[in-house]
Amino acid sequence: MSKRKFVLCVLLLLSLSANAFAQLHITVEYNKDWGNAPTSNIKKLCENVALHFQEQLRDEHKIHGDLLIVYRAERPIAYYRTFFGGDADDYKIGLSVTGRYWDEFSYQFGHEFAHILQNHDELYEKLPNQINDWFEEAICELANLWVLRRMHDTWA
């Protein structure tokens, strides 16, 4: 699929489903380390990933509030609110992609968004040294594979 066709598909999907994730407001912080990937495109892609997750959930399980996406060189991460001083409806995800590697953006964001869907803040406060972290990671990987497949099916 050409880059132009890809961008057109993303824009079409987002215009058709703009209200499905209206309760989640995603912002991408500008950083030169994103390379030649425009923050507007990163935002639209992450909104589409979130949409696929959110449309499968009942309203009471959907993520509401503000989600800030930042560049983080080390590795992708879903930040705990206690580490960035966020309110109950604030979320922050760090991604480590540089350039227009949309597949990596989708993959990293989907995995970290799955952590947020699991109420990772509440789990951390109750059990800060979880011995079952591997299980949470496995669930995030499984959820991410599912969302990537859904994106493939809806974009094809």
| Residue in 64, 42, 50 with CA at minimum distance from that of residue 17 | 50
The pLDDT tens digits for 42-64 are 999 999 999 999 998 888 788 88
Residue 98 exposed, middle or buried by CB count within 10 Å (0-12, 13-18, 19+):
middle
Percent of the chain with pLDDT over 90: 49
The pLDDT tens digits for 69-107 are 999 999 999 988 777 777 778 899 999 999 999 999 999
Alpha-carbon distances, residue 147 vs 11, 129, 140 (angstroms): 18, 28, 10
Supply the pLDDT for residue 38: 96
Using pLDDT thresholds of 50, 70 and 90, give the confidence band for residue 125. low
pTM of the predicted structure, to 2 decimals:
0.80
Using pLDDT thresholds of 50, 70 and 90, give the confidence band for residue 129. low
Using pLDDT thresholds of 50, 70 and 90, give the confidence band for residue 112. very high
Domain boundaries, the chain: 3-155
**For the stretch 30-62, what's the b/e string if a residue is b when 16 or more beta carbons lie within 10 angstroms of its beta carbon?**
eeeebeebeeebbebbbbbbbbbbbeeeeeeeb
Q: Which residues contact 77 (CB under 8 A, 6 or more apart)?
A: 93, 94, 112
